[in-house]
Amino acid sequence: MPHVLKYNDVEIATEIEFARTILSQVKGLMFRKSIPPGFAMIFEMKKPSSVNVHMLFMRFPIDIIFLNEEKKTTGLYRLNPWSGYKAMADIKYVIEMNAGTIEKYKLSIGGQMEFDDI
């Protein structure tokens, strides 16, 4: 069964890539030319912690969604290539998606994300 990302029971991504290792988390979306519509990269931390997201070596803007351990949104940001940077504390998951996703699905702080952690 394919992975699906939902926000308040609405499907927002059907192509999910998980970044769980240190190497995959450091690399993230760097060096890619683009990502397809309906794509999400989910970074899973071993435990809630401080997280830093940078846009070095990125070629396109992205939306960043920070989640707590209950998968509730705690931060929503648009970051631009080469100049974007954001840090947040007590984060269990970070989701990177195409720029415009936050506005398109009207994401807001406290909203519930759903996905399998497989």
Q: Which domain holds residue 56?
A: 5-112
Percentage of the chain with pLDDT > 70? 97
Q: What value does the mean pLDDT take over residues 31-38?
A: 95
Q: Establish if 31 belongs to a structural domain.
A: yes
Q: Establish if 117 belongs to a structural domain.
A: no
How many angstroms from the chain centroid is the CA of residue 107?
A: 12
Strands 5-7 and 113-114: antiparallel
- Rounded distance between C-alpha atoms, residue 68 and residue 32, angstroms: 27
Q: What value does the mean pLDDT take over residues 26-41?
A: 94
Mean per-residue pLDDT of the chain: 94
Nearest CA to 96 out of 31, 20, 35, 51 is that of 35
Q: Structure pTM?
A: 0.93
Nearest CA to 24 out of 10, 8, 41, 48 is that of 41
Give the confidence band of 118 by pLDDT, cuts at 50, 70, 90: low
- Rounded distance between C-alpha atoms, residue 30 and residue 74, angstroms: 24
Domain of 88, CATH number, reads 2.60.120.1140
Q: How many domains does the chain have?
A: 1
| pLDDT tens by residue, 13-26 | 999 999 989 899 98
- Rounded distance between C-alpha atoms, residue 95 and residue 112, angstroms: 13
Residue 66 has pLDDT above 60, yes or no: yes
Residue 1 has pLDDT above 50, yes or no: no
